[in-house]
A = this chain, B = another copy of it.
Amino acid sequence: MPELRRDPVSGRWVIIATERGKRPSDYPSPPPRKMDSKFCPFCPGNEAATPPEVWSLRAPGTGPNEPGWTVRAIPNKYPALRIEGELNREGVGIYDKMNGIGAHEVVIETPHHHENLVDLSTSRIADVMAVCQERVNDLIKDDRFRYVMLFKNQGESAGASLEHSHTQLIATPVVPKRVLEEMEGAKRYYADKERCIFCDILRQERSDGERIVDQSESFIAYAPFASRFPFEVWIVPRPHQPVFRSMGEAHRLEFAEILRRTLLRIKFTLNNPDYNYMFHSAPFGHETTSEYHWHLEIIPKLTRVAGFEWGTGFYINPTSPEEAAECLRNARLDEGTTETPVPAGAAEGIH
């Protein structure tokens, strides 16, 4: 059973997940450069190689754990946190710990092994997002959980261990430190001004203009003023919305479109880099807060985090966000996508 542990000085929680790696010899040195793509458990036909699916969008007439799906959500076979059991909080002398209760799921974004999220049409990206929302909305019913982090590791240098394109969800029994910090910062601002800090940031970004990457009626993609990483881009809804999971269909399609365009800009500008994205959304119980505003953070993997960053939490970013935004804004998007046709009607049936 994995464990959650808290650093008594910084308050930082970590997961001690002993089932995932273990012995020194399990750590290749240097790490392998190519992911094994001989057998892919995420490809259609190999459904039995994964835990049974918890949700899918699939063609009418096909059943669970059969081919015919376009988006498929499954529990992670090697979860960082386990769904079974009761949550126990306990002290060990000066230290605090909890057992590692949580959930760890994977949303397989496409049936095609070599297709990435950026290659999908807007409506298929919207389908992926709909499945992500569905899973978060299901997991919040479990009152042992305080937060669900929805994130993507695209490519090996971004931490992906399987090549087939997927997004992950991890539900945690505590609100993570970084989310708490953001909430606290946003609360302090609101207490002072009675305005959402993200709404104010969007107003300033639209007025300054120089960090804007893309925008649509309800969304802005911009390079944040204090970008930690080169070409970091955040996508934020213009209307005040605390949580991602409540977004309706019209907004979802619009979000899918600006996400697709932003990923294409990054792909063309930076020669298809690996990247991570992370959804930041208000914790459970804060669905209607005026203080917090959901957003997506995208960080291309271009630099390495080194000792200075680890020691200080201070990041060295070699490209200004203004310059990054200019490059991304000017990217030509007319090179087209490389989408593979989907089975007819596949997106219609919901299992």
Contacts and interface: CB of A to CB of B under 8 A. Distances in A.
Given A94-B204, A204-B93, A320-B16, A8 B185 contact: yes
B24 A269 contact: yes
A317 interface: yes
A231 to B, nearest CB: 8
Interface string A1-37: 0010111111111111110111110110111010000
The complex is assembled from copies of this chain, and their number is 2
Interface in A140-180: 147, 149, 151-153, 157-160, 168, 170, 172, 176-179
Contacts of A279: 311
A210 B297 CA distance: 39
The number of chain A residues touching the other chain, given as a range, is 35 or more
9 contacts: A14-B226, A14-B316, A18-B319, A24-B231, A27-B230, A30-B157, A152-B307, A159-B307, A297-B310
Interface of A: 3, 5-18, 20-24, 26-27, 29-31, 33, 80, 92-95, 147, 149, 151-153, 157-160, 168, 170, 172, 176-179, 181-182, 185-186, 189, 197-198, 200-201, 204, 208, 224-228, 230-231, 269-273, 276-280, 297, 299, 302-308, 310-321, 323, 327
